[in-house]
Protein backbone atom coordinates (compact mmCIF):
# COMPACT_ATOMS: atom_id res chain seq x y z
CA UNK A 1 0.00 0.00 0.00
CA UNK A 2 1.34 3.49 -0.90
CA UNK A 3 1.26 5.99 1.94
CA UNK A 4 0.64 9.57 0.79
CA UNK A 5 2.24 12.49 2.67
CA UNK A 6 0.10 13.74 5.52
CA UNK A 7 -0.20 17.45 4.70
CA UNK A 8 -2.20 18.74 1.71
CA UNK A 9 0.83 20.66 0.44
CA UNK A 10 3.04 17.56 0.56
CA UNK A 11 0.32 15.51 -1.17
CA UNK A 12 0.13 18.08 -3.95
CA UNK A 13 3.92 18.07 -4.34
CA UNK A 14 3.94 14.27 -4.54
CA UNK A 15 1.13 14.28 -7.10
CA UNK A 16 2.98 16.87 -9.21
CA UNK A 17 6.15 14.76 -9.26
CA UNK A 18 4.18 11.69 -10.31
CA UNK A 19 2.57 13.73 -13.08
CA UNK A 20 5.97 14.84 -14.37
CA UNK A 21 7.07 11.23 -14.60
CA UNK A 22 3.86 10.15 -16.32
CA UNK A 23 3.97 12.93 -18.90
CA UNK A 24 7.66 12.36 -19.59
CA UNK A 25 6.97 8.69 -20.25
CA UNK A 26 4.28 9.31 -22.87
CA UNK A 27 5.45 8.12 -26.25
CA UNK A 28 5.02 10.83 -28.86
CA UNK A 29 6.31 11.22 -32.38
CA UNK A 30 10.02 12.00 -32.52
CA UNK A 31 11.13 15.29 -34.05
CA UNK A 32 13.35 13.56 -36.59
CA UNK A 33 11.57 11.18 -38.95
CA UNK A 34 12.50 9.65 -42.27
CA UNK A 35 10.65 11.83 -44.78
CA UNK A 36 8.27 10.48 -47.37
CA UNK A 37 6.79 12.40 -50.31
CA UNK A 38 3.48 12.63 -48.44
CA UNK A 39 4.91 14.15 -45.28
CA UNK A 40 4.54 17.82 -44.45
CA UNK A 41 7.92 19.46 -43.94
CA UNK A 42 7.64 21.69 -40.88
CA UNK A 43 10.08 23.90 -38.97
CA UNK A 44 9.75 25.07 -35.40
CA UNK A 45 12.19 27.93 -35.01
CA UNK A 46 12.48 27.17 -31.29
CA UNK A 47 12.54 23.57 -30.12
CA UNK A 48 9.43 23.94 -27.95
CA UNK A 49 7.37 24.92 -31.00
CA UNK A 50 8.86 22.03 -32.97
CA UNK A 51 7.78 19.69 -30.18
CA UNK A 52 4.17 20.89 -30.39
CA UNK A 53 4.20 20.53 -34.18
CA UNK A 54 5.41 16.97 -33.74
CA UNK A 55 2.69 16.16 -31.21
CA UNK A 56 -0.10 17.55 -33.39
CA UNK A 57 1.23 16.48 -36.79
CA UNK A 58 2.33 13.02 -35.75
CA UNK A 59 3.14 10.58 -38.54
CA UNK A 60 2.26 13.00 -41.33
CA UNK A 61 4.83 15.64 -40.43
CA UNK A 62 8.61 15.72 -40.66
CA UNK A 63 9.67 18.30 -38.07
CA UNK A 64 12.96 20.07 -37.57
CA UNK A 65 13.90 22.57 -34.88
CA UNK A 66 16.47 25.31 -35.38
CA UNK A 67 17.21 26.69 -31.92
CA UNK A 68 17.64 23.58 -29.81
CA UNK A 69 20.64 23.80 -27.48
CA UNK A 70 19.68 24.54 -23.83
CA UNK A 71 23.36 25.10 -23.03
CA UNK A 72 23.84 28.12 -25.32
CA UNK A 73 22.61 31.69 -25.46
CA UNK A 74 19.84 31.79 -28.09
CA UNK A 75 20.55 35.48 -28.67
CA UNK A 76 23.96 34.55 -30.08
CA UNK A 77 22.37 32.36 -32.77
CA UNK A 78 23.88 32.58 -36.24
CA UNK A 79 22.14 31.26 -39.35
CA UNK A 80 23.83 28.82 -41.72
CA UNK A 81 23.19 27.73 -45.32
CA UNK A 82 21.65 24.53 -43.93
CA UNK A 83 19.10 26.51 -41.95
CA UNK A 84 18.29 28.70 -44.95
CA UNK A 85 17.64 25.51 -46.93
CA UNK A 86 15.41 24.11 -44.16
CA UNK A 87 13.21 27.19 -44.13
CA UNK A 88 13.16 27.41 -47.93
CA UNK A 89 11.91 23.82 -48.18
CA UNK A 90 9.36 24.06 -45.37
CA UNK A 91 5.63 23.75 -45.96
CA UNK A 92 4.96 25.16 -42.49
CA UNK A 93 7.00 27.35 -40.13
CA UNK A 94 6.24 28.33 -36.54
CA UNK A 95 8.12 31.34 -35.16
CA UNK A 96 7.82 33.25 -31.91
CA UNK A 97 7.77 36.88 -33.06
CA UNK A 98 8.24 40.00 -30.91
CA UNK A 99 11.74 40.37 -32.32
CA UNK A 100 12.88 37.23 -30.56
CA UNK A 101 13.61 35.42 -33.82
CA UNK A 102 13.40 38.22 -36.37
CA UNK A 103 16.21 36.58 -38.34
CA UNK A 104 13.63 33.98 -39.34
CA UNK A 105 11.45 36.69 -40.89
CA UNK A 106 14.41 37.76 -43.01
CA UNK A 107 14.93 34.18 -44.19
CA UNK A 108 11.25 33.76 -44.98
CA UNK A 109 11.31 36.96 -47.01
CA UNK A 110 14.46 35.86 -48.82
CA UNK A 111 12.91 32.49 -49.77
CA UNK A 112 9.35 33.39 -50.83
CA UNK A 113 6.79 30.63 -51.33
CA UNK A 114 3.20 30.89 -52.42
CA UNK A 115 2.24 27.72 -50.54
CA UNK A 116 4.26 27.90 -47.31
CA UNK A 117 2.21 28.58 -44.18
CA UNK A 118 3.67 30.56 -41.29
CA UNK A 119 2.38 30.76 -37.72
CA UNK A 120 3.76 33.82 -35.95
CA UNK A 121 2.89 33.31 -32.30
CA UNK A 122 2.92 37.02 -31.50
CA UNK A 123 0.33 37.63 -34.19
CA UNK A 124 -1.61 34.53 -33.18
CA UNK A 125 -1.88 35.92 -29.64
CA UNK A 126 -2.75 39.40 -30.93
CA UNK A 127 0.21 41.02 -29.17
CA UNK A 128 1.50 44.46 -30.13
CA UNK A 129 5.15 44.96 -31.03
CA UNK A 130 5.76 46.87 -27.80
CA UNK A 131 4.98 43.79 -25.67
CA UNK A 132 7.88 43.70 -23.24
CA UNK A 133 8.27 39.98 -22.63
CA UNK A 134 8.83 37.83 -25.75
CA UNK A 135 9.07 34.47 -23.94
CA UNK A 136 5.55 33.51 -24.95
CA UNK A 137 5.85 29.74 -24.45
CA UNK A 138 5.77 30.19 -20.65
CA UNK A 139 2.28 31.70 -20.89
CA UNK A 140 -0.33 28.95 -20.32
CA UNK A 141 -2.52 30.49 -23.03
CA UNK A 142 0.07 30.21 -25.78
CA UNK A 143 0.49 26.57 -26.72
CA UNK A 144 -3.23 25.68 -26.81
CA UNK A 145 -3.59 28.53 -29.34
CA UNK A 146 -0.59 27.22 -31.29
CA UNK A 147 -2.02 23.68 -31.33
CA UNK A 148 -5.36 24.98 -32.61
CA UNK A 149 -3.64 26.97 -35.36
CA UNK A 150 -1.60 23.93 -36.30
CA UNK A 151 -4.74 21.84 -36.76
CA UNK A 152 -6.07 24.40 -39.23
CA UNK A 153 -2.82 24.75 -41.18
CA UNK A 154 -1.95 21.07 -41.24
CA UNK A 155 -5.49 20.25 -42.39
CA UNK A 156 -5.15 22.85 -45.14
CA UNK A 157 -2.00 21.08 -46.32
CA UNK A 158 -3.45 17.57 -45.93
CA UNK A 159 -7.27 17.74 -45.74
CA UNK A 160 -7.64 13.96 -45.67
CA UNK A 161 -5.97 13.85 -42.24
CA UNK A 162 -7.85 16.71 -40.58
CA UNK A 163 -9.55 14.44 -38.03
CA UNK A 164 -6.19 12.90 -37.11
CA UNK A 165 -4.68 16.33 -36.45
CA UNK A 166 -7.70 17.36 -34.41
CA UNK A 167 -7.48 14.23 -32.26
CA UNK A 168 -3.77 14.80 -31.64
CA UNK A 169 -4.44 18.40 -30.61
CA UNK A 170 -7.09 17.19 -28.16
CA UNK A 171 -4.53 14.81 -26.63
CA UNK A 172 -2.03 17.66 -26.46
CA UNK A 173 -4.50 19.87 -24.60
CA UNK A 174 -5.36 17.05 -22.19
CA UNK A 175 -1.66 16.53 -21.42
CA UNK A 176 -1.42 20.20 -20.36
CA UNK A 177 -3.90 19.70 -17.52
CA UNK A 178 -1.39 18.44 -14.88
CA UNK A 179 0.67 21.60 -15.44
CA UNK A 180 -2.36 23.88 -15.21
CA UNK A 181 -3.51 22.07 -12.07
CA UNK A 182 -0.06 22.43 -10.52
CA UNK A 183 -0.04 26.17 -11.30
CA UNK A 184 -3.43 26.65 -9.66
CA UNK A 185 -2.37 24.61 -6.61
CA UNK A 186 0.83 26.61 -6.17
CA UNK A 187 -1.10 29.87 -6.43
CA UNK A 188 -3.59 28.66 -3.80
CA UNK A 189 -0.99 27.24 -1.42
CA UNK A 190 1.62 30.00 -1.69
CA UNK A 191 -0.11 33.22 -2.76
CA UNK A 192 2.12 36.19 -3.58
CA UNK A 193 5.34 34.22 -3.19
CA UNK A 194 8.10 36.80 -3.50
CA UNK A 195 10.74 35.91 -6.08
CA UNK A 196 13.77 37.42 -7.82
CA UNK A 197 14.74 36.74 -11.43
CA UNK A 198 17.59 37.55 -13.78
CA UNK A 199 15.37 38.38 -16.75
CA UNK A 200 11.73 37.88 -17.77
CA UNK A 201 12.18 34.39 -19.24
CA UNK A 202 9.80 32.67 -16.81
CA UNK A 203 7.72 35.69 -15.84
CA UNK A 204 4.52 34.52 -17.55
CA UNK A 205 4.65 31.23 -15.66
CA UNK A 206 5.45 32.99 -12.37
CA UNK A 207 2.52 35.35 -12.84
CA UNK A 208 0.22 32.41 -13.57
CA UNK A 209 1.48 30.81 -10.34
CA UNK A 210 0.58 33.94 -8.39
CA UNK A 211 4.17 34.90 -7.59
CA UNK A 212 5.25 38.44 -6.78
CA UNK A 213 8.28 39.30 -8.94
CA UNK A 214 10.35 41.87 -7.00
CA UNK A 215 13.22 42.30 -9.46
CA UNK A 216 12.89 45.69 -11.20
CA UNK A 217 11.77 45.16 -14.78
CA UNK A 218 14.40 47.62 -15.93
CA UNK A 219 17.08 45.22 -14.71
CA UNK A 220 15.33 42.24 -16.31
CA UNK A 221 15.07 44.02 -19.64
CA UNK A 222 18.69 45.20 -19.53
CA UNK A 223 20.00 41.66 -18.96
CA UNK A 224 17.66 40.30 -21.65
CA UNK A 225 18.85 42.90 -24.16
CA UNK A 226 22.53 42.72 -23.25
CA UNK A 227 22.76 46.27 -21.89
CA UNK A 228 23.96 47.60 -18.55
CA UNK A 229 21.26 47.91 -15.88
CA UNK A 230 21.20 51.00 -13.72
CA UNK A 231 23.25 50.93 -10.51
CA UNK A 232 20.04 51.59 -8.58
CA UNK A 233 18.39 48.47 -10.02
CA UNK A 234 21.46 46.37 -9.22
CA UNK A 235 21.42 47.66 -5.64
CA UNK A 236 17.72 46.82 -5.36
CA UNK A 237 18.32 43.31 -6.67
CA UNK A 238 21.22 42.67 -4.29
CA UNK A 239 19.08 43.81 -1.35
CA UNK A 240 16.47 41.18 -2.24
CA UNK A 241 19.03 38.52 -1.40
CA UNK A 242 20.81 40.10 1.55
CA UNK A 243 17.60 41.34 3.11
CA UNK A 244 15.84 37.95 2.98
CA UNK A 245 13.06 39.47 0.89
CA UNK A 246 12.56 36.63 -1.61
CA UNK A 247 11.90 32.92 -1.28
CA UNK A 248 13.14 31.80 -4.73
CA UNK A 249 15.66 33.00 -7.31
CA UNK A 250 14.69 32.11 -10.89
CA UNK A 251 17.85 31.92 -12.94
CA UNK A 252 18.11 31.78 -16.74
CA UNK A 253 20.65 29.03 -17.39
CA UNK A 254 21.19 30.01 -21.01
CA UNK A 255 22.20 33.65 -20.61
CA UNK A 256 24.86 34.19 -17.99
CA UNK A 257 27.47 36.86 -17.39
CA UNK A 258 29.47 38.18 -14.42
CA UNK A 259 26.47 40.18 -13.17
CA UNK A 260 24.02 37.27 -13.19
CA UNK A 261 26.68 35.04 -11.68
CA UNK A 262 27.13 37.56 -8.86
CA UNK A 263 23.38 37.37 -8.19
CA UNK A 264 23.59 33.58 -8.20
CA UNK A 265 26.45 33.61 -5.72
CA UNK A 266 24.62 36.07 -3.46
CA UNK A 267 21.47 33.95 -3.48
CA UNK A 268 23.44 30.85 -2.54
CA UNK A 269 25.27 32.62 0.29
CA UNK A 270 21.96 33.75 1.72
CA UNK A 271 20.28 30.34 1.50
CA UNK A 272 17.81 31.28 -1.22
CA UNK A 273 16.91 28.27 -3.39
CA UNK A 274 17.43 28.55 -7.14
CA UNK A 275 15.15 27.36 -9.94
CA UNK A 276 16.56 27.05 -13.45
CA UNK A 277 14.60 28.26 -16.46
CA UNK A 278 15.42 27.85 -20.14
CA UNK A 279 14.74 29.57 -23.44
CA UNK A 280 14.81 26.35 -25.44
CA UNK A 281 13.35 23.07 -24.26
CA UNK A 282 15.75 21.09 -22.07
CA UNK A 283 16.17 17.91 -24.06
CA UNK A 284 16.38 14.99 -24.20
CA UNK A 285 14.03 13.95 -21.45
CA UNK A 286 11.16 16.38 -21.90
CA UNK A 287 8.23 17.32 -24.05
CA UNK A 288 6.68 20.74 -23.69
CA UNK A 289 4.11 19.64 -21.09
CA UNK A 290 6.55 17.79 -18.83
CA UNK A 291 9.03 20.67 -19.06
CA UNK A 292 6.47 23.22 -17.89
CA UNK A 293 5.24 20.94 -15.12
CA UNK A 294 8.81 20.30 -13.96
CA UNK A 295 9.30 24.05 -13.55
CA UNK A 296 6.27 24.29 -11.23
CA UNK A 297 7.41 21.23 -9.27
CA UNK A 298 10.78 22.95 -8.82
CA UNK A 299 9.05 26.10 -7.53
CA UNK A 300 7.10 24.05 -5.00
CA UNK A 301 10.23 22.23 -3.81
CA UNK A 302 11.97 25.58 -3.39
CA UNK A 303 9.21 26.93 -1.16
CA UNK A 304 8.38 23.83 0.86
CA UNK A 305 11.84 22.29 1.26
CA UNK A 306 14.21 25.13 0.31
CA UNK A 307 15.65 22.80 -2.33
CA UNK A 308 17.28 24.23 -5.46
CA UNK A 309 16.73 22.88 -8.95
CA UNK A 310 19.88 24.21 -10.59
CA UNK A 311 19.30 22.27 -13.81
CA UNK A 312 16.52 20.36 -15.54
CA UNK A 313 18.89 18.73 -18.01
CA UNK A 314 18.83 14.96 -17.83
CA UNK A 315 22.33 13.53 -17.60
CA UNK A 316 23.01 10.78 -20.15
CA UNK A 317 23.42 7.31 -18.76
CA UNK A 318 27.04 6.05 -18.70
Q: What is the mean pLDDT of residues 149-162?
A: 98
Strands 40-46 and 212-213: unpaired
Domain boundary (133, 149, 175) is at: 175
Question: What CATH number has the domain bearing residue 207?
Answer: 3.40.50.1980
Whether residues 100 and 212 share a domain: the answer is no
225 and 127 share one domain: no
- Count of other CB atoms within 10 angstroms of residue 155: 16
For residues 187 and 10, the answer to whether their CB atoms sit within 8 Å is no
Same domain, 295 and 209: yes
The residue-averaged pLDDT of 200-213 equals 98
Q: How buried is residue 35: exposed, middle or buried, by Cβ count under 10 Å (0-12/13-18/19+)?
A: exposed
pLDDT at 72: 64
The predicted structure's pLDDT at residue 70: 67
Q: Are residues 137 and 83 in the same domain?
A: yes
138 and 252 share a domain? Answer: no
Where is the domain boundary, 121, 142, 175?
175
The total number of structural domains that make up the chain: 2
Domain region containing 150: 40-175
- Please state, in angstroms and rounded to a whole number, the distance separating the CA atoms of residues 152 and 162: 8
Is pLDDT of 23 > 80? no
Looking at residue 20, what is its pLDDT?
44
Q: Is the pLDDT of residue 28 over 60?
A: no
What is the model's pTM? Answer: 0.87
| Range 178-202 burial, b when 16+ CB lie within 10 A, else e | bbbbbbebbbebbeebebbbbbbbb
Task: Cite the DSSP H helix spans in the chain.
Answer: 8-24, 47-57, 81-89, 102-110, 121-124, 142-157, 162-175, 177-189, 203-208, 217-225, 231-242, 258-269, 288-305
* Cα dihedral across residues 57, 125, 255, 176: positive or negative: negative
pLDDT tens digits, one per residue of 82-99: 888 999 999 999 999 999
Burial class (CB in 10 A: 0-12, 13-18, 19+), 3: exposed
DSSP characters over 296-308:
HHHHHHHHHH---
233-247 pLDDT tens trace = 999 999 999 999 999
Within-domain flag for 20? no
Judgement on whether residues 221 and 120 belong to the same structural domain of the protein: no
153, 175, 197 — which closes off a domain? 175
Same domain (yes/no): 105, 201: no
Amino acid sequence: MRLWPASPQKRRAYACMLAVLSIASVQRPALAQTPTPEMIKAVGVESQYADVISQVGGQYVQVSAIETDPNTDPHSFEASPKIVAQIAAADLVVENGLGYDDWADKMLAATPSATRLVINVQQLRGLVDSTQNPHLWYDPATMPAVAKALVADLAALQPAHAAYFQANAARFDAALKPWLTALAAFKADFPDTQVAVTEPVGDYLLQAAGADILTPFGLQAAIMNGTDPSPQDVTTQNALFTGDKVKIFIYNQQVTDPLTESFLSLAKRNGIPIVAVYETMPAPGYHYQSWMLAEVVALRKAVTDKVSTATLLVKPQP
